[in-house]
Amino acid sequence: IKIEKELSSLYKRTFEPLHVPPELFQRLTGQFCNIQTLKTGQAYAAEDKTSVDDRLSILLKGKMKVSYRGHFLHNIYPCAFIDSPEFRSTQMNRGEKFQVTIIADDNCKFLCWSRERLTYFLESEPFLYEIFKYLIGKDITNKLYSLNDPTLNDKASKKIDRQPSLCSQLSVMQMRNSMASTSDSEDGLQMFLRGTSSASSL
């Protein structure tokens, strides 16, 4: 099984260590998904405007910047999900909007799945379903640590390999999906950031 050159790094770094067979990865990335690009400065999502229901994406190349009402939160690097907190939240509530803005900080390339068709496919592949649960939980946890340390660079982020805790997942979901409803003020943002710091300690 020959994996496309654009996807080989994603497979070797993310899926192969979890013993996902090449043919299963090829089915996952060969159906109901496509590779898309964004130029520097273009938006993947705009807070309070973009629906979270339609897609799930993994960054293949470049870097993206996540902000909330003009406040920088964290970066997204290759082989990380772009919208994992929103994907987890959508499993609970439909019809939500992104509560953050995600902008391409470089010329970016990403793999984008139709969320509905991906969910349908995963239901027929129990092994891959469990792999996705693990990867998304881990990605949410990594985003939480990035939120607590905005200076975390690409090299350091690659070394993070922590099991996701319920507390940390809920914290990032709150940050990425519910923070706007708690407070419109700068004080509200700072209170939340202090709260996530306490959550990671727990």
pLDDT in tens, 69-109: 888 989 999 999 999 998 887 765 567 889 999 999 999 99
Rg of the chain in Å (alpha carbons): 16
Domain that holds residue 116: 34-148
Residue 67: φ, ψ to 5°: -135, 160
User: 189 or 176, which is more confident?
Assistant: 176
Number of domains in the chain: 1
The per-residue pLDDT for 123 is: 92
Residue 159 lies in a domain: no
Q: Is the dihedral of CA 86, 17, 38, 107 positive or negative?
A: positive
pLDDT in tens, 18-42: 999 999 999 999 877 899 999 999 9
**What is d(CA 43, CA 39) in angstroms, rounded to the nearest whole number?**
9
Residue 6 lies in a domain: no
Q: What are the tokens at 195?
A: 């709260």
Residue 64, beta-bridge partner list: 76, 104
DSSP state of 47: T
Residue 52 lies in a domain: yes
Please report, for the domain that includes residue 48, its CATH number: 2.60.120.10
Residue 106 lies in a domain: yes
Residue 137 lies in a domain: yes
